[in-house]
Structure 1
């Protein structure tokens, strides 16, 4: 019945999804892709107006096809790509520049300058993060430095700076609500995870006025209304997946294999863990608790496959073979997946991608297998580092995202990690997490899960990982 209907908006790096949920079950999903804009090498942008137009179209389509009216929908929840930042004029409602995507490396020089000035320890202590172009702070500073018209509006009350959630909430409420939640705010390098607020020292460091930033609300708070529907339940996508996978105990780990790959370990109240290889981030903040997580960020996951499919060979033509029988390639071919530099635990923005070990006998299938192997190799390096830093043994990991549907690859991941790998039959854990946040953790119907166990005595993939890791260390 319509009175038990919720909507979830999932705005990701590659597109926007709108899910219709009735009686705790996802009954329909609608998708719209948006353009990936690459003005220069290493620069990545999205058009905020295109994304907003997609949201409007999806909403109209979902209501029409399911014969719904706004009055009968209980909540509209939101989960979103993190770190991507938008600056817009509150008076005109127009963006002053395209959304600068989390993948964008154009602020590398700013980060290197701040690190050279010795600011890394200050930022790490306050935020749990690194000074890196991945995060929003240096992107904002780049825009302030490059565009005087943006700088001139700063602090006047006319300028809005926010992550994707803040932009969409502002648009949905027609400018009445300018707000974000802590899981998004903590990814900007402007948020103090000890004080749970914007930090004056960090604002000064990145040349940002507090007046330009959104109000920070609890994830389960009310964020206004869209066409009469309460907007409730707002979480950044990776943290939402952690919540959706029910990773609530210390040491629980989830791996989301999307455009990039986010590996999060629940650490509850342990917000003081610091290691340059691994991040400490806020997981979620609601009316009941504030909890934290360790995170390893992999820059290129599904993005590496998209690149391979567009530049080398159509992935669909050979992916079936790899999925049906992912026998580890006998070719000593390795892929360095630094299409956008390397993330955790290596953190090298200058590193570039390459294939190593190709011979006349190397095929396109061998190359694709090398790309797939590099994805689980990166996960292995992060999991090993997490165990070392946390001094906890991880017995199992939960995996979601499109690439997790490759059963043979997941079986190899279990053997490589020497851990149980649990893969859900659905991809929507970010949406499930934010919906649970909105509805007080009511049961959500999921399909099932596939469990993979390590194969004892299988050393081929482990030996290949050692050689791959040696190559990464050599080129770092």
Structure 2
């Protein structure tokens, strides 16, 4: 979330990242006021400090309390994509795409427009908001080496990954393993309402195409738990070492780690949950905790898969995976085991970048259509479930028990 001066291009306050919880109390106020359901219906999102709306309001309260400059259009808002487009075009274009707009909690995903009621709720002037285009569209030109290079693709991180995984049809899904984990399923041309804590969002489409939607489940702390073990706990020197240490013990020795460092997402959505480590005994070793951290990523992702199946009535037979942590053999096999799904990792794991390239390539004529892109997608490795049902259910029950113990911890 960035607010900058139109005249100078300089931010008026430090950018606020998606994991920041500084506006959690403000969101709680809004929910108590009864506005939560309206937000859910219009945006597809569950009210949370995770999204941009309350962050924009917070920055404006500090930098422009009376909204004088914002109403004049002297201050502009954008997610990172919008700020980059502004910079790349030398301030000629202030635009974003539908997928990024849908993450602000200000965008009506049914009308595909900024919602005036929500803007009033957060006291955000519409004059400071970017124009909203399709993901595959012309976002202006970047002057590079004396030439004008067209910007033909803009998409949110996870929607770009969904596009990069060629999940173009309803029922196709992928899970990205990065700092967080994000499971998205294409639901076609109709927004699907979740009864299990998932978000309804917009999928990436090309100019002229009918809008497409997706269900999304978010794991706030995925690969970040491995970074925590590396940097704060100093259990190992490099993130890739976690796989080695996890394989040094046959199980976690009854240890469960719930990495709710910044709250917990779907299906629980508790911004006051905090991390918990349970089941420690005198025999607990570093390797047990590392393995529990690895497994926590798969447990959280499995909960998203089960919630998505309940919402759509579709049983996922195959889960496409990507992102930096998908290289981890132990994690991918445990994901297949605990979710009871075949897991397929593609040759190109950085599918967010691939999705952005696909959008630009379609817009510039490198590829003629999505069918051609489907032929380019290749599987690298497949992981088949090997855990029996009794063991899987036992472990899931223990995980859920650990999660229940961490909920509401930070609430005064």
Instruction: Indicate the residue corresponding to 2:96 in structure 1.
Output: 180
**C-alpha contact 1:244 1:432 (8 A) present in aligned 2:** yes
> Contact 1:328–1:369 at 8 Å: present in 2 too?
no
Q: What is the deviation of 1:97?
A: 0.7
- Is 1:231 the counterpart of 2:151 in the alignment? yes
> In the alignment, what sits opposite 2:271?
349
User: 2: CA distance between counterparts of 1:93 and 1:150?
Assistant: 21
Give, in whole Å, the separation in 2 of the partners of 1:436 and 1:225.
18
Aligned counterpart for 1:379 among listed residues 301, 324, 331: 301
**Contact residue 331 and residue 366 of structure 1 kept, 8 A:** yes
1:458 Cα shift? 6.4
Partner of 1:413: 335
Q: Does 1:296 align with 2:220?
A: no
2:385 aligned residue: 454
Distance 2:294 2:22 in 1: 27
Within the candidate set 77, 86, 96, 1:161 is matched to 77
Q: Within 2, Cα distance between the matches of 1:173 and 1:189?
A: 26
Structure 1 window deviating more from structure 2 (290-299 vs 264-273): it is 264-273
Give the C-alpha shift of residue 408 in structure 1.
2.1
For 1:357-436, list aligned pairs within 5 A.
Answer: 357-436=279-358
Quote the residue 2:111 is aligned against: 195
Q: Deviation of residue 328 (structure 1)?
A: 4.6
- Which secondary structure state, in structure 2, belongs to the residue aligned with residue 223 of structure 1? coil
Q: 1:267 to 1:328 in 2, by over 3 A?
A: farther
The structural deviation recorded for 1:148 is 3.4
**Correspondences of 1:322-337 after superposition (within 5 Å):** 322=245, 325=247, 328-337=250-259
1:424–1:450 CA contact under 8 A, matched in 2: yes
Greater fraction strand = 1
Given that residues 135 and 155 in structure 2 are in contact (C-alpha distance below 8 angstroms), is that contact kept between their aligned partners in structure 1?
yes
Paired position in structure 2 for 1:242:
162
Cα distance change on mapping 1:276 and 1:125 into 2, 3 Å: farther
Deviation at 1:270?
Answer: 2.4
The correspondence for 1:473, drawn from 391, 404, 409, is 404
Aligned pair count reads 391
Comparing 373-382 with 403-412, greater Cα deviation is found at: 403-412
Q: Which moved more, 1:131-140 or 1:446-455?
A: 446-455
Q: Are the structure 2 counterparts of residues 213 and 365 from structure 1 closer, same or farther at C-alpha, using a change threshold of 3 Å?
A: same
Deviation at 1:214, TM superposition (A): 0.5
Aligned runs of 1:45-124 on 2, under 5 Å? 85-124=1-40
Return the offset for 1:333: 0.6
Q: Where does the alignment leave 5 or more consecutive residues of structure 2 unmatched?
A: 363-369, 408-412
SS at match of 2:139: strand
Q: Which residue of 2 aligns with 1:255?
A: 175
Contact 1:219 1:284 in 2 (8 A): yes
The 1:431/1:232 distance shift into structure 2, 3 A limit, reads same
Runs ≥4 residues deviating over 6 A: none
State the alpha-carbon separation in 2 of the partners of residues 96 and 147 from structure 1.
Answer: 7
Residue 233 of structure 2 aligns with which residue?
312
Say if 1:86 and 1:167, in contact at 8 Å, map to a contact too: yes
Question: Following the alignment from structure 1 to structure 2, what is the Cα–Cα distance between the partners of residues 314 and 473?
Answer: 27
Aligned pair in 2 of structure 1 residues 312, 456: CA closer, same or farther (>3 Å)? closer
Gaps of 5+ in 1: 1-84
How far apart are 1:319 and its partner, in Å? 2.3
| Residue of structure 1 in register with 2:244 after alignment | 321
* Matching of residue 278 in structure 1 with residue 168 in structure 2: no
What's the CA shift for 1:437?
1.6
The Cα of 1:463 is off from its aligned counterpart by 2.0
TM-score normalised by the chain length of structure 1: 0.79
